Structure 1
Amino acid sequence: MAKSTWLIDPVHSSLEFVVKHMMVSKAKGVFQDFEATVVADPEDLTNAEIEFVIDVNSINTRKEDRDNHLRSADFFDVENHPKMTYKVTDITKKSAHHYDVTGDLTIRGTTKPVTFDVTFEGQHKDPMSGNIVAGFSGTAEINRKDFGLTWNAALETGGVVVGEKVKLNVEIEAQKEA
Protein backbone atom coordinates (compact mmCIF):
# COMPACT_ATOMS: atom_id res chain seq x y z
CA MET A 1 0.00 0.00 0.00
CA ALA A 2 1.27 3.50 -0.77
CA LYS A 3 1.76 6.23 1.80
CA SER A 4 -1.31 8.34 2.54
CA THR A 5 -2.04 11.35 4.68
CA TRP A 6 -3.82 10.55 7.93
CA LEU A 7 -5.80 13.02 10.04
CA ILE A 8 -5.70 12.57 13.81
CA ASP A 9 -9.09 12.13 15.47
CA PRO A 10 -8.68 14.17 18.67
CA VAL A 11 -11.76 12.60 20.28
CA HIS A 12 -10.27 9.10 20.03
CA SER A 13 -6.61 10.02 20.59
CA SER A 14 -4.65 10.96 23.71
CA LEU A 15 -1.23 12.11 24.87
CA GLU A 16 -0.80 11.10 28.50
CA PHE A 17 1.99 11.17 31.06
CA VAL A 18 2.56 9.45 34.40
CA VAL A 19 5.09 10.51 37.06
CA LYS A 20 5.79 9.31 40.60
CA HIS A 21 4.24 11.61 43.24
CA MET A 22 5.32 11.83 46.89
CA MET A 23 7.31 8.59 46.40
CA VAL A 24 4.13 6.53 46.97
CA SER A 25 1.72 7.08 44.08
CA LYS A 26 1.54 8.30 40.50
CA ALA A 27 0.23 11.57 39.13
CA LYS A 28 -1.31 11.38 35.67
CA GLY A 29 -2.16 14.01 33.14
CA VAL A 30 -2.97 14.67 29.51
CA PHE A 31 -2.30 17.31 26.91
CA GLN A 32 -5.75 18.00 25.49
CA ASP A 33 -4.77 20.08 22.43
CA PHE A 34 -2.34 18.76 19.85
CA GLU A 35 -1.95 18.44 16.12
CA ALA A 36 -0.14 15.82 14.12
CA THR A 37 1.00 15.37 10.58
CA VAL A 38 1.14 11.73 9.55
CA VAL A 39 2.03 10.51 6.07
CA ALA A 40 2.34 6.74 6.21
CA ASP A 41 1.46 3.29 5.03
CA PRO A 42 0.07 1.89 8.30
CA GLU A 43 0.97 -1.66 7.25
CA ASP A 44 4.67 -0.61 7.08
CA LEU A 45 5.61 2.46 9.08
CA THR A 46 9.33 2.31 8.27
CA ASN A 47 9.20 5.28 5.88
CA ALA A 48 6.45 7.28 7.63
CA GLU A 49 6.66 11.03 8.15
CA ILE A 50 5.27 11.96 11.56
CA GLU A 51 5.29 15.21 13.50
CA PHE A 52 3.38 16.35 16.59
CA VAL A 53 2.84 19.87 17.94
CA ILE A 54 1.43 19.98 21.47
CA ASP A 55 -0.12 23.01 23.17
CA VAL A 56 1.51 22.85 26.61
CA ASN A 57 -1.12 25.20 28.05
CA SER A 58 -3.68 22.41 27.49
CA ILE A 59 -2.17 20.30 30.29
CA ASN A 60 -4.80 18.69 32.50
CA THR A 61 -4.04 16.69 35.64
CA ARG A 62 -7.55 17.19 37.07
CA LYS A 63 -6.14 19.61 39.67
CA GLU A 64 -6.14 23.28 38.65
CA ASP A 65 -3.45 24.40 41.13
CA ARG A 66 -1.08 21.67 39.93
CA ASP A 67 -1.82 22.47 36.27
CA ASN A 68 -1.01 26.14 36.88
CA HIS A 69 2.22 25.17 38.66
CA LEU A 70 3.17 22.94 35.72
CA ARG A 71 2.53 25.86 33.33
CA SER A 72 4.82 28.14 35.39
CA ALA A 73 8.56 28.75 34.99
CA ASP A 74 9.16 26.01 37.61
CA PHE A 75 8.19 23.44 34.98
CA PHE A 76 7.07 23.99 31.36
CA ASP A 77 7.37 27.82 31.34
CA VAL A 78 4.40 28.12 28.98
CA GLU A 79 4.87 31.88 28.64
CA ASN A 80 8.22 31.34 26.89
CA HIS A 81 7.70 27.80 25.55
CA PRO A 82 4.01 27.37 24.63
CA LYS A 83 4.57 24.33 22.37
CA MET A 84 6.22 20.94 22.62
CA THR A 85 7.14 19.13 19.43
CA TYR A 86 8.05 15.60 18.38
CA LYS A 87 9.44 14.96 14.90
CA VAL A 88 10.22 11.39 13.87
CA THR A 89 13.74 10.79 12.58
CA ASP A 90 13.94 6.98 12.36
CA ILE A 91 11.58 4.00 12.45
CA THR A 92 12.78 0.44 12.94
CA LYS A 93 10.44 -2.52 12.43
CA LYS A 94 10.70 -5.03 15.31
CA SER A 95 7.97 -7.44 14.16
CA ALA A 96 4.86 -7.48 11.96
CA HIS A 97 3.11 -4.49 13.61
CA HIS A 98 5.66 -3.44 16.22
CA TYR A 99 8.17 -0.59 15.82
CA ASP A 100 10.78 1.53 17.55
CA VAL A 101 9.87 5.09 16.55
CA THR A 102 12.67 7.55 17.33
CA GLY A 103 12.31 11.28 17.06
CA ASP A 104 13.40 14.63 18.39
CA LEU A 105 11.31 15.68 21.39
CA THR A 106 11.50 19.39 22.22
CA ILE A 107 10.32 20.54 25.64
CA ARG A 108 11.07 23.97 27.06
CA GLY A 109 13.54 24.70 24.26
CA THR A 110 15.59 21.54 24.81
CA THR A 111 15.62 18.83 22.12
CA LYS A 112 16.58 15.22 22.83
CA PRO A 113 16.03 11.95 20.94
CA VAL A 114 13.23 9.81 22.39
CA THR A 115 12.20 6.34 21.21
CA PHE A 116 8.61 5.17 21.49
CA ASP A 117 7.66 1.50 21.46
CA VAL A 118 4.78 1.63 18.94
CA THR A 119 2.18 -0.95 17.94
CA PHE A 120 -0.02 -0.65 14.86
CA GLU A 121 -3.43 -1.75 16.19
CA GLY A 122 -5.03 -2.25 12.78
CA GLN A 123 -7.29 -0.44 10.36
CA HIS A 124 -10.96 -0.73 9.47
CA LYS A 125 -13.74 1.02 7.63
CA ASP A 126 -15.73 3.22 10.02
CA PRO A 127 -19.38 2.04 9.73
CA MET A 128 -20.63 5.55 10.59
CA SER A 129 -18.59 7.63 8.13
CA GLY A 130 -17.35 5.04 5.65
CA ASN A 131 -13.79 6.35 6.13
CA ILE A 132 -10.75 4.14 6.75
CA VAL A 133 -9.39 4.52 10.29
CA ALA A 134 -6.17 3.19 11.80
CA GLY A 135 -4.99 2.91 15.39
CA PHE A 136 -1.57 3.15 17.01
CA SER A 137 -0.37 2.81 20.61
CA GLY A 138 3.00 3.88 21.92
CA THR A 139 4.98 4.26 25.14
CA ALA A 140 8.27 5.89 26.05
CA GLU A 141 10.06 6.98 29.19
CA ILE A 142 12.04 10.18 29.66
CA ASN A 143 13.92 11.84 32.47
CA ARG A 144 12.23 15.21 32.94
CA LYS A 145 15.49 16.80 34.14
CA ASP A 146 16.99 16.18 30.67
CA PHE A 147 14.49 18.79 29.41
CA GLY A 148 15.09 21.41 32.11
CA LEU A 149 12.10 20.36 34.25
CA THR A 150 14.12 20.32 37.46
CA TRP A 151 11.79 21.74 40.16
CA ASN A 152 11.31 19.54 43.19
CA ALA A 153 10.82 19.68 46.93
CA ALA A 154 12.24 17.38 49.59
CA LEU A 155 9.91 15.33 51.76
CA GLU A 156 10.35 15.43 55.53
CA THR A 157 10.66 11.64 55.65
CA GLY A 158 13.12 11.44 52.74
CA GLY A 159 12.64 11.44 49.01
CA VAL A 160 11.07 14.10 46.81
CA VAL A 161 7.63 15.28 45.70
CA VAL A 162 8.07 14.62 41.95
CA GLY A 163 9.89 11.66 40.40
CA GLU A 164 12.44 12.17 37.62
CA LYS A 165 11.18 9.46 35.25
CA VAL A 166 8.06 10.24 33.23
CA LYS A 167 6.19 7.60 31.28
CA LEU A 168 4.58 8.85 28.07
CA ASN A 169 1.55 7.06 26.61
CA VAL A 170 0.21 7.82 23.14
CA GLU A 171 -3.04 6.47 21.72
CA ILE A 172 -3.82 7.58 18.18
CA GLU A 173 -6.81 7.00 15.97
CA ALA A 174 -6.30 8.47 12.53
CA GLN A 175 -8.58 8.78 9.53
CA LYS A 176 -7.26 8.34 6.02
CA GLU A 177 -7.59 11.62 4.13
CA ALA A 178 -9.96 11.34 1.18
Structure 2
Amino acid sequence: MPFRSLALASALALSPLAVLAAPWTLDTGHTHVTFSIDHLGFSTTQAQFRTVSAEVDFDPDNIEAAQVAFTIDAASFDSNLEARDNHVRGADFLNVEEYPEITFISTGVTQTGEGTADVTGDLTMLGITKPVTFQAELRQIAPSPFNPDLTVAGFVVTGEIDRTAFDMGYGAPAIGTVIPVRVDLELSPSDQVSTQ
Protein backbone atom coordinates (compact mmCIF):
# COMPACT_ATOMS: atom_id res chain seq x y z
CA MET A 1 0.00 0.00 0.00
CA PRO A 2 1.44 3.43 -0.86
CA PHE A 3 2.42 5.69 1.99
CA ARG A 4 -0.59 7.79 2.89
CA SER A 5 0.49 9.79 5.85
CA LEU A 6 -0.76 12.71 7.82
CA ALA A 7 2.02 15.20 7.12
CA LEU A 8 1.90 17.67 9.96
CA ALA A 9 2.36 20.92 8.03
CA SER A 10 1.16 24.42 8.73
CA ALA A 11 -2.46 25.09 8.00
CA LEU A 12 -1.45 28.72 7.96
CA ALA A 13 1.38 28.34 5.45
CA LEU A 14 0.93 28.86 1.74
CA SER A 15 2.89 26.81 -0.77
CA PRO A 16 2.44 25.76 -4.41
CA LEU A 17 1.59 22.24 -3.27
CA ALA A 18 -1.01 23.33 -0.74
CA VAL A 19 -3.74 23.75 -3.33
CA LEU A 20 -3.59 20.00 -4.03
CA ALA A 21 -4.63 19.03 -0.51
CA ALA A 22 -8.22 18.94 0.70
CA PRO A 23 -9.59 19.62 4.19
CA TRP A 24 -9.92 16.71 6.59
CA THR A 25 -11.74 16.73 9.93
CA LEU A 26 -10.19 15.53 13.18
CA ASP A 27 -12.27 12.95 15.06
CA THR A 28 -11.76 14.35 18.56
CA GLY A 29 -13.49 11.36 20.11
CA HIS A 30 -10.69 9.16 18.78
CA THR A 31 -7.79 11.56 19.26
CA HIS A 32 -5.60 11.44 22.36
CA VAL A 33 -2.52 13.47 23.31
CA THR A 34 -0.67 11.55 26.01
CA PHE A 35 2.77 11.76 27.58
CA SER A 36 4.83 10.44 30.46
CA ILE A 37 7.12 12.09 33.00
CA ASP A 38 9.82 10.47 35.12
CA HIS A 39 9.11 11.05 38.82
CA LEU A 40 12.30 11.18 40.87
CA GLY A 41 13.50 7.97 39.29
CA PHE A 42 10.89 5.97 41.22
CA SER A 43 8.02 5.84 38.74
CA THR A 44 6.61 7.24 35.53
CA THR A 45 3.57 9.51 35.70
CA GLN A 46 1.11 9.24 32.81
CA ALA A 47 -0.89 12.29 31.73
CA GLN A 48 -2.89 13.68 28.84
CA PHE A 49 -4.48 16.78 27.37
CA ARG A 50 -8.20 16.21 27.02
CA THR A 51 -9.03 19.05 24.60
CA VAL A 52 -7.35 19.28 21.20
CA SER A 53 -8.38 20.73 17.84
CA ALA A 54 -6.76 20.82 14.43
CA GLU A 55 -7.05 22.31 10.96
CA VAL A 56 -5.93 19.73 8.41
CA ASP A 57 -5.40 19.72 4.65
CA PHE A 58 -4.39 16.27 3.46
CA ASP A 59 -3.85 14.56 0.12
CA PRO A 60 -3.24 10.81 0.69
CA ASP A 61 -1.31 10.63 -2.59
CA ASN A 62 0.90 13.68 -1.98
CA ILE A 63 2.22 13.98 1.53
CA GLU A 64 4.20 17.10 0.60
CA ALA A 65 0.88 18.92 0.11
CA ALA A 66 -0.53 18.11 3.54
CA GLN A 67 -0.96 20.89 6.08
CA VAL A 68 -2.10 20.94 9.69
CA ALA A 69 -2.12 23.15 12.75
CA PHE A 70 -2.83 21.63 16.16
CA THR A 71 -4.10 23.58 19.15
CA ILE A 72 -4.18 22.14 22.67
CA ASP A 73 -6.10 23.63 25.58
CA ALA A 74 -3.36 23.73 28.22
CA ALA A 75 -5.90 23.77 31.05
CA SER A 76 -7.19 20.38 29.90
CA PHE A 77 -4.08 18.74 31.43
CA ASP A 78 -5.13 15.63 33.36
CA SER A 79 -2.88 13.28 35.34
CA ASN A 80 -5.67 11.76 37.44
CA LEU A 81 -4.66 13.68 40.58
CA GLU A 82 -6.36 17.02 41.20
CA ALA A 83 -3.65 18.57 43.37
CA ARG A 84 -0.95 17.71 40.85
CA ASP A 85 -3.09 18.88 37.93
CA ASN A 86 -3.65 22.26 39.60
CA HIS A 87 0.08 22.59 40.25
CA VAL A 88 0.98 21.76 36.64
CA ARG A 89 -1.59 24.26 35.37
CA GLY A 90 0.02 26.93 37.56
CA ALA A 91 3.02 29.22 37.10
CA ASP A 92 5.64 26.54 37.89
CA PHE A 93 4.73 24.60 34.76
CA LEU A 94 2.09 25.41 32.10
CA ASN A 95 0.95 28.79 33.48
CA VAL A 96 -2.40 28.36 31.74
CA GLU A 97 -3.81 31.70 32.84
CA GLU A 98 -1.17 33.56 30.86
CA TYR A 99 -0.63 30.95 28.13
CA PRO A 100 -3.91 29.08 27.59
CA GLU A 101 -2.89 27.33 24.37
CA ILE A 102 -0.12 25.05 23.13
CA THR A 103 0.23 25.00 19.34
CA PHE A 104 2.10 22.98 16.75
CA ILE A 105 2.45 24.17 13.14
CA SER A 106 4.53 21.95 10.94
CA THR A 107 7.07 23.18 8.45
CA GLY A 108 8.12 20.02 6.63
CA VAL A 109 7.76 16.27 6.28
CA THR A 110 10.25 13.64 5.17
CA GLN A 111 9.20 10.12 4.28
CA THR A 112 11.33 7.59 6.17
CA GLY A 113 9.75 4.30 5.07
CA GLU A 114 6.57 2.57 4.00
CA GLY A 115 3.95 4.28 6.11
CA THR A 116 6.32 6.41 8.20
CA ALA A 117 7.60 9.98 8.09
CA ASP A 118 9.50 12.54 10.14
CA VAL A 119 7.44 15.66 10.70
CA THR A 120 9.16 18.90 11.70
CA GLY A 121 7.36 21.98 12.92
CA ASP A 122 7.15 24.86 15.35
CA LEU A 123 5.89 24.09 18.84
CA THR A 124 4.78 27.08 20.90
CA MET A 125 4.40 26.75 24.65
CA LEU A 126 4.66 29.39 27.38
CA GLY A 127 5.07 31.97 24.62
CA ILE A 128 8.25 30.30 23.36
CA THR A 129 8.48 28.72 19.91
CA LYS A 130 10.97 25.95 19.17
CA PRO A 131 11.43 23.54 16.25
CA VAL A 132 10.62 19.92 17.07
CA THR A 133 10.45 16.71 15.06
CA PHE A 134 7.89 13.95 15.49
CA GLN A 135 7.65 10.52 13.91
CA ALA A 136 4.33 9.77 12.17
CA GLU A 137 3.13 6.26 11.39
CA LEU A 138 0.07 5.40 9.34
CA ARG A 139 -2.01 2.69 10.98
CA GLN A 140 -4.66 2.42 8.31
CA ILE A 141 -6.61 4.40 5.74
CA ALA A 142 -9.82 2.75 4.60
CA PRO A 143 -13.61 3.04 4.57
CA SER A 144 -15.18 2.82 8.01
CA PRO A 145 -16.49 -0.70 8.65
CA PHE A 146 -19.66 0.94 10.02
CA ASN A 147 -20.06 3.39 7.13
CA PRO A 148 -18.44 2.55 3.78
CA ASP A 149 -19.10 6.09 2.54
CA LEU A 150 -16.74 7.52 5.18
CA THR A 151 -12.97 7.23 4.73
CA VAL A 152 -10.95 7.10 7.95
CA ALA A 153 -7.21 7.62 8.31
CA GLY A 154 -5.58 6.59 11.57
CA PHE A 155 -2.11 7.64 12.73
CA VAL A 156 0.28 7.37 15.65
CA VAL A 157 2.63 10.32 16.13
CA THR A 158 5.48 10.09 18.66
CA GLY A 159 8.38 12.25 19.77
CA GLU A 160 10.11 13.91 22.68
CA ILE A 161 9.96 17.45 24.07
CA ASP A 162 12.56 19.00 26.37
CA ARG A 163 10.46 21.13 28.70
CA THR A 164 13.47 23.16 29.84
CA ALA A 165 13.77 24.54 26.29
CA PHE A 166 10.48 26.32 27.03
CA ASP A 167 11.72 27.75 30.35
CA MET A 168 9.80 25.10 32.29
CA GLY A 169 12.58 24.11 34.66
CA TYR A 170 10.69 23.50 37.90
CA GLY A 171 11.93 20.39 39.71
CA ALA A 172 14.55 19.56 37.09
CA PRO A 173 16.23 17.15 36.88
CA ALA A 174 14.46 15.21 39.64
CA ILE A 175 11.22 15.57 37.70
CA GLY A 176 11.94 14.45 34.13
CA THR A 177 12.85 17.11 31.61
CA VAL A 178 12.63 15.13 28.36
CA ILE A 179 8.97 14.22 27.90
CA PRO A 180 7.94 11.38 25.56
CA VAL A 181 4.77 12.40 23.69
CA ARG A 182 2.27 10.22 21.80
CA VAL A 183 -0.68 11.36 19.68
CA ASP A 184 -3.23 8.82 18.45
CA LEU A 185 -5.64 10.34 15.95
CA GLU A 186 -8.27 9.68 13.32
CA LEU A 187 -9.22 11.92 10.39
CA SER A 188 -11.87 11.87 7.68
CA PRO A 189 -12.39 14.06 4.59
CA SER A 190 -14.41 17.09 5.62
CA ASP A 191 -16.77 16.82 2.66
CA GLN A 192 -17.64 13.26 3.72
CA VAL A 193 -18.10 14.25 7.36
CA SER A 194 -20.47 17.08 6.45
CA THR A 195 -22.82 14.69 4.67
CA GLN A 196 -22.99 12.07 7.42
Which residue of 139, 144, 149 corresponds with 1:126?
144
Q: Deviations over 1:3-60 (max 9, x none)?
A: 2211111111111111101212111111110100110123442221111010000011
Q: How many residues align?
A: 172
Task: After superposition, give the CA deviation of every residue in 1:120-168 in whole Å (9 maximum; x if it has no partner).
Answer: 2221111334311101111111111001111117xxxxx72x1111001
Structure that is richer in helix per residue: 2
1:41 to 52, 55, 59: 59
Match of residue 156 from structure 1: none
In the alignment, what sits opposite 1:92?
110
| SS of match in other structure, 2:64 | strand
| Aligned-residue CA RMSD (Å) | 1.6
1:69-105 residue CA offsets vs partner (Å, 9 max, x unmatched):
0000000000100000000001011122110000000
Equivalence for 2:181: 168
Greater CA deviation, 33-42 or 79-88? 33-42
Q: 1:145 maps to what in 2?
A: 164
Structure 2 unmatched runs, 5+: 5-19, 192-196
- Per the normalisation by structure 1, the TM-score is 0.91
Deviates more, 1:122-131 or 1:68-77: 122-131
Q: Secondary structure at the match of 1:68?
A: helix
Equivalence for 2:11: none
| Identical-residue share of aligned pairs (%) | 34
| Corresponding residue of 1:25 | 43
**Structure 1 runs (4+) greater than 4 angstroms displaced:** none
- Separation (CA, whole Å) in 2 of partners of 1:95 and 1:14: 24
- 1:131 match: secondary structure: strand
- Does the aligned pair in 2 maintain the 1:90–1:103 contact within 8 Å? yes
More off after superposition, 124-133 vs 103-112:
124-133
